[in-house]
Amino acid sequence: MKQSDFLKVVLPFKDKVFRLAKRLLVSTEEAEDATQELFLKLWKNKGKLTEYKNVEAFAMTMTKNYCFDRLKSKQAGNLTLVHSNYKEKDTSLEKKVENNDAISHVHKLIERLPEQQRVIIQLRDIEQYDFDEICKVVDMKPTAVRVALSRARKTIRQELIKQHNYGVS
């Protein structure tokens, strides 16, 4: 496989790999390192890529596993989460601050979820993967993925309702 062929295969999902790594590792620097490490591994095994039906799902599985290994070897407990994907024009400063606080709170709630639910909600609600792709990445049956996603969403919804009703975070 030539370099140009390799790039045509892997570049379309580069950002998704980074976002999953960032969701799991929290740190932008750690996520960049994980993304670079993943693409290095893919390059070293470029000859085998044609054997996979879905290279993107394979790469996402590799990313998930690599990130879990990193978290086991070095806990990143004191890193902060910063959201940079949300942009809106023509809103007041007060509304922007309010939106950023809400987004930050949802991210904190997602970070408190069990790892499996955190990965599934990232892949489904943020990366917009379909259930078949998620099943391959997390190596679970569709019913189990749907249940885990439902529980994750329910947990987040309940926490948001609790905060809204009581004004406590």
Buried b (16+ CB within 10 A) or exposed e, 111-138: eebeeebbbbbbbbeebebeeebbbbbb
Residue that has been written with the tokens 């890529």 in this structure: 49
Q: CA-to-CA distance for 107 and 46, rounded, in angstroms?
A: 35
Query: Do residue 69 and residue 99 come from a single domain?
Result: no
Please indicate, yes or no, whether the overall pTM of this predicted structure exceeds 0.75: no
Q: 3-class DSSP state for residue 40?
A: helix
pLDDT at 15 over 50: yes
Task: Read off the DSSP letter of residue 80.
Answer: P
pLDDT (0 to 100) of residue 145: 93
Q: How many domains does the chain have?
A: 2
Residue that has been written with the tokens 């639910």 in this structure: 117
Q: 3-class DSSP state for residue 168?
A: coil
pLDDT (0 to 100) of residue 90: 57
Do 35 and 17 touch, CB atoms closer than 8 A?
yes
The 10 Å Cβ neighbour count of residue 19 is 18
Query: Do residue 97 and residue 69 come from a single domain?
Result: no
Mean pLDDT, the chain, rounded, equals 82
Q: CA-to-CA distance for 93 and 66, rounded, in angstroms?
A: 39
pLDDT at 82 over 50: no
Lowest mean pLDDT among 24-28, 49-53, 77-81: 77-81
Inside any domain, residue 78: no
pLDDT grade for 71, boundaries at 50, 70 and 90 = confident
pLDDT at 80 over 50: no
Buried b (16+ CB within 10 A) or exposed e, 50-61: eeeeebbbbbbe
Strands (E), the chain: none
Domain that holds residue 146: 93-166
Q: What is the pLDDT of residues 102-161, one digit of tens each?
A: 788 888 888 899 999 999 998 888 888 889 989 988 999 999 999 999 999 999 989 888
Structure tokens at 157: 């919804």
pLDDT (0 to 100) of residue 100: 77
pLDDT grade for 81, boundaries at 50, 70 and 90 = very low
CATH number for 40: 1.10.1740.10
Q: CA-to-CA distance for 48 and 40, rounded, in angstroms?
A: 14
Inside any domain, residue 50: yes
Dihedral class, residue 130 (left if φ above 0, else alpha if ψ from -120 to 50, else beta): beta
Inside any domain, residue 44: yes
Query: Do residue 104 and residue 51 come from a single domain?
Result: no
Q: How big is the CA angle at 80 (ends 79 and 86), to the nearest 5 degrees?
A: 145
